[in-house]
Structure 1
Amino acid sequence: MGWLVTIHVLSAVLGIGPTYFGHVLLRKKQSREQLLESLKLFGLLNYFPKIGGSLAVVSGILLVLLSDWKFSELWIVGSLILYVLIQVVAVAMMGPVLKRLVQALGEDEDRERDPAAGSSSLLAQANRLYNTASIMGTILILLMIVKPI
């Protein structure tokens, strides 16, 4: 069982940890080129939560099945719900906003005007969604540590 806990903790740390760099990558007051580069790096960082997060969920479910814990325990139910909500915010909601942001930055280049005018509202929207996902992720980590009943 110890090896499964180790896999679960490592996959959670490696999967979730790098996502907090997104706050630096999606910062305001970047040039168009900097923001495009940041968005590329953001896309690369997303492999960590996809792989690590998936492995953390699978190992977490195995931990529940192989231990005395029950899926009806509040912290387990809350953790699973938070994980699903994070996926909804990060994938279903933020993904399209980031795609529109990249498109807007491309249009800004074609028009040769200030990129902030066309993309600042999309960047602000992406930041709000990212902050929401980060807060939920932090709560998820706290639930894993504290395990309230």
Structure 2
Amino acid sequence: MYTYVLFVHLVAAVMGLGAAFGFPIVAKSAKTVSQAKFVLNLLHKLEVLPKAGSILLLISGIVMGLLETWLFKEVWFIGSIVIYLAVQFIVAGMLPKNMKKQLAALEGVQGEELPEAYLVLGRQSAKLEGISHLAAFVLILLMVFKPF
């Protein structure tokens, strides 16, 4: 049973992290107001992948711990859960709010030049995404190498 849950965990990671790692690349591609509106709407639609992946990651991770209760005594396992939950504050709370603010910053703009407010919010999102990507890298390191 554990192997099947681990498989679900890995698929969820690929599904969620793959899409999330692509978001900054797509977001930075917008050079005009029209492109930015399209990109923000596209990213909003693609959010379903990281959201579903995140939920599956949490559920499958906890189920693996319930199947192999010794995992709850491992620092790397507990640390992974703590880091995961901390990052959810960014990816489920802060980043979606920034996207909404960016879309609002584009409303009523005349012409195609991106407003400064949009660009500032984009830089804020890029920093938050960088933090979440670093956390994902640390999580992968912890789960693969199980250092403690």
Q: TM-score, normalised by structure 2?
A: 0.88
Aligned to 2:97: 96
| Unpaired runs of at least 5, structure 1 | none
Q: Deviation string for 1:71-110 (max 9, x for gaps)?
A: 232111111111112110112222222111100011324x
Aligned to 2:19: 18
| One-letter code aligned to 1:144 | M
Aligned to 2:62: 61
Aligned to 2:9: 8
- Residues of 2 paired with 1:126 and 1:68: CA distance? 37
| One-letter code aligned to 2:34 | E
- Residues of 1 paired with 2:30 and 2:15: CA distance? 29
- Residues of 2 paired with 1:132 and 1:147: CA distance? 21
Task: Establish whether residue 107 from structure 1 lines up as the match of residue 108 from structure 2.
Answer: yes
Q: TM-score, normalised by structure 1?
A: 0.88
- Residue correspondences, number: 147
Give the CA RMSD over aligned residues. Answer: 1.8
Superposition pairs of residues 115-130 of structure 1, within 5 angstroms: 115-130=114-129
Q: Contact (CA 8 Å) 1:100, 1:122: kept in 2 or not?
A: yes
- Cα offset, 1:22, TM superposition: 0.7
Q: Deviation string for 1:21-61 (max 9, x for gaps)?
A: 11212216611111111112211221112112211211111
State, as a whole percentage, how many aligned pairs show the same letter.
Answer: 27
Runs (4 or more) in structure 1 with deviation over 2 Å come to: 112-118
- Residues of 1 paired with 2:16 and 2:55: CA distance? 8
Aligned to 2:131: 132
Choose 20-29 or 5-14, whichever is displaced more: 20-29
- Cα offset, 1:69, TM superposition: 2.8
Relative distance call for 1:130 and 1:107 in structure 2 (3 A) is farther
- Residues of 1 paired with 2:52 and 2:59: CA distance? 11
Relative distance call for 1:118 and 1:52 in structure 2 (3 A) is closer
| Unpaired runs of at least 5, structure 2 | none
